[in-house]
């Protein structure tokens, strides 16, 4: 867990989930937002599994790990929004956003 960063640090954001239903082609993603809710950057797993989309059965746990250098940002409060969807980048159903 990080309570603060200066910027330039190598960080990993781990998003873990538990499927309550079968999920075909899960996409896990995130956005880093500033105190005004403006998106600064984000990423998702869609392209990683484009050639072999996974399937998660109800009851299974799954996760994604996003590793990146934390950008140098102005002093302030920031938050991560994470989301889980099912489908493709262009045609998906949002399952969880928070």
Task: Report the pLDDT value the prediction gives residue 18, as an integer from 0 to 100.
Answer: 96
Q: How far apart are CA 37 and CA 65, in angstroms?
A: 23
Task: Work out the pLDDT band at 59, boundaries 50, 70, 90.
Answer: very high
Give tens-digit pLDDT for 13-48: 999 999 999 999 999 999 999 999 999 999 999 999
Domains of the chain: 10-97 (2.70.50.60)
pTM over 0.75: yes
Is pLDDT above 90 for 3?
no
Q: How far apart are CA 11 and CA 45, in angstroms?
A: 17
Q: How far apart are CA 24 and CA 86, in angstroms?
A: 6
Mean pLDDT along residues 55-70: 97
């Amino acid at each position: 867990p990080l309570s603060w960063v200066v910027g330039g640090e190598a960080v990993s954001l781990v998003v873990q989930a538990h499927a309550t239903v079968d999920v075909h082609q899960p996409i896990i993603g995130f956005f880093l937002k500033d105190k005004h809710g403006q998106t600064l950057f984000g990423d998702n797993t869609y392209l990683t599994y484009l050639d072999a989309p996974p399937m998660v059965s109800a009851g299974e746990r799954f996760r994604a790990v996003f590793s990146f250098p934390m950008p140098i940002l102005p002093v302030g409060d920031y938050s991560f929004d994470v989301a889980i969807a099912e489908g493709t980048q262009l045609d998906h159903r949002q399952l969880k956003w928070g």
